Amino acid sequence: MTKEQINNIVWKACDTFRGTLDSSEYKDYILTMLFVKYLSDFYKEKKEELFKKYNGNEKRIKRALEKEKFVISEDATFDYLLRHKEAPNLGEIINKVLMKIEDDNKEKLEGIFRNIDFNSEAKLGQTKERNALLRHLLEDFSELDLRPSKLESRDVIGDVYEYLISRFASDAGKKGGEFFTPSEVSTLLAKLVEPKERDRIYDPTCGSGSLLIKAAKEVGSDNFRVYGQEKNGQTYALCRMNMFLHQIDDADIKWGDTLRNPKHLIDSTHLMKFDKVVANPPFSLDKWGYEELKDDKFNRFIYGLPPKSKADYAFVEHMLASLNEDGTMAVVLPHGVLFRGSSEGKIRKGIIEDNLLDAVIGLPPNLFYGTSIPTVIMVFKKNKKDKNILFIDASREYEKGKNQNKLRDEDIEKIVKTYKERKTIDKYSYLATLEEIKENDYNLNIPRYVDTFEEEEEIDINEVKANIQKIENELKEVKEKMNKYLEELGL
């Protein structure tokens, strides 16, 4: 099946839920069922191959299946669900199948379905309505053939998953936008940090995992490890599914609040260190744990504690503390982090003076689902080779969209090329010295460094007067002709 065929069938399945649930809620049911269908079809094809290979020898087939990356019992397949679609307790049966899949694959899938309930009366309605809705869902998904040999490419399921997440984010507005970074922005961040073989890549607010996946693709081999943490339980589950669908089977994804309870640790008081960090943390999150973290046992806030109402620099300081001695990180943040004062100003000054900030990149407006807040990418580096900071104003080069604007391939290439070359380009980029930053009182607002002012052409007053006279003469001629025609018509 092609990517387009799968997209169309699954998007049609969404019609089952429209009007019953907001898409920010029904996305979990759709994406979970896609994952179950993929696991079932993968297992079915593998079993057929082994049946031929071992001439139906059940013991050898069973032994070989146990060595596969997923084990699916016959009473935990999508086909089993389809055979029971008329059952009076269909939601309960689906929940049991999900638990059975988890139990059969404890090491990889334990807890992956814990936040999804196909038997929820509150969300899916009373028994009769719920059964009808779930029956339609199974029938729609039965049109899919996700056996690996029937797919046009190895990446098609992962690509479809990303497509659906982006559609849900677009459809759901702010709720969806909380967990989704547009594909082009993910690609840009991945290219900026340049992940390579044997790197450990980390995203402390990983959402559905798109940033980690894009960074993994930049490596060009399977020799890397990805680590992520996500606070929202349902989004955490989607991220883990997303990793498996993109063939990243050893991803270390944790569930929890990264600021209050970081999960990637060396020991009880030391954070794990990473080669590359990419992130799009929630913008200016309030109630992030200011009081609890005044005495942070991980010693993350060495530049100061950010304000109670804005967690932007809390995430930045956490990431800097998680970066190894030669590491690079790229973070999407709201514009305010460049110039806000008080505690944020002190933190910014400390980071700059320690020569950790490498670049500030202004992004085009309206790139993100659910918010029109102006955004920037800040690139940080340990062990920098110079003390300069590169400013790039990429805010005027993009493809305008109906709801969201989009970075084109050429826009991404220009940003990355300029970043790597670290050159000043008229009206686009500027390489500022530490002295210049100090003169601006550590204010990083991009227009202070990149002048994008376009001078208007001088107006020739005599030429304008001549043009006005010419127009008046032409108008006089037209009026005379009109009067002549009116006279001839006797009007």
In sequence order, what DSSP letters do the residues of 150-170 get, joined into one string? GSSSTTHHHHHHHHHHHHHHH
Name the pLDDT band for 177 (thresholds 50, 70, 90): very low
175-448: CATH number: 3.40.50.150
Q: Crossing angle, helix 210-219 and helix 233-245, to 10 degrees?
A: 30
pLDDT of residue 263: 97
- What does the pLDDT look like over 407-440, one tens digit per residue? 999 999 999 999 999 999 999 999 999 999 999 9
Whether the Cβ atoms of residue 169 and residue 177 lie closer than 8 Å to each other: yes
Residue with tokens 């379905």: 113
* Statement: residue 460 has pLDDT above 80: no
The pLDDT of 180-195, averaged and rounded, is 92
pLDDT of residue 491: 67
- Of 204-208, 311-315, 343-347, 369-373, least confident by mean pLDDT is 369-373
- What does the pLDDT look like over 32-88, one tens digit per residue? 999 999 999 999 999 999 999 999 898 999 899 888 888 899 999 999 999 999 999
pLDDT of residue 170: 65
pLDDT of residue 457: 63
| Token reading at 339 | 């110039």
What is the percent of the chain where pLDDT is above 90? 67
Whether the Cβ atoms of residue 425 and residue 418 lie closer than 8 Å to each other: yes
Name the pLDDT band for 454 (thresholds 50, 70, 90): low
* Statement: residue 175 has pLDDT above 70: no
Strand runs (DSSP E) across 204-315, as ranges? 225-230, 252-255, 265-267, 270-271, 274-279
Whether the Cβ atoms of residue 450 and residue 427 lie closer than 8 Å to each other: yes
For residue 404, the 8-state DSSP code is: S
Supply the mean pLDDT for the chain: 91
For residue 100, the 8-state DSSP code is: H
* Statement: residue 6 has pLDDT above 50: yes
Whether the Cβ atoms of residue 98 and residue 106 lie closer than 8 Å to each other: no
Whether the Cβ atoms of residue 450 and residue 428 lie closer than 8 Å to each other: yes
pLDDT of residue 343: 96
Q: What residues does each domain of the chain span?
A: 3-150, 175-448, 463-491
- Of 36-40, 387-391, 455-459, 468-472, least confident by mean pLDDT is 455-459
Name the pLDDT band for 173 (thresholds 50, 70, 90): very low
Radius of gyration of the chain (CA): 29
Whether the Cβ atoms of residue 365 and residue 405 lie closer than 8 Å to each other: yes
pLDDT of residue 474: 86
* Statement: residue 484 has pLDDT above 70: yes
* Statement: residue 243 has pLDDT above 60: yes
- Of 6-20, 174-188, 286-300, least confident by mean pLDDT is 174-188
Name the pLDDT band for 171 (thresholds 50, 70, 90): low
Name the pLDDT band for 455 (thresholds 50, 70, 90): low
212 strand-pairing partners: none
What length is written for the chain? 491
* Statement: residue 325 has pLDDT above 70: yes
| Token reading at 192 | 């900026």
The CATH topology of domain 3-150 is: Ferritin (1.20.1260)
- pTM, to two decimals: 0.86
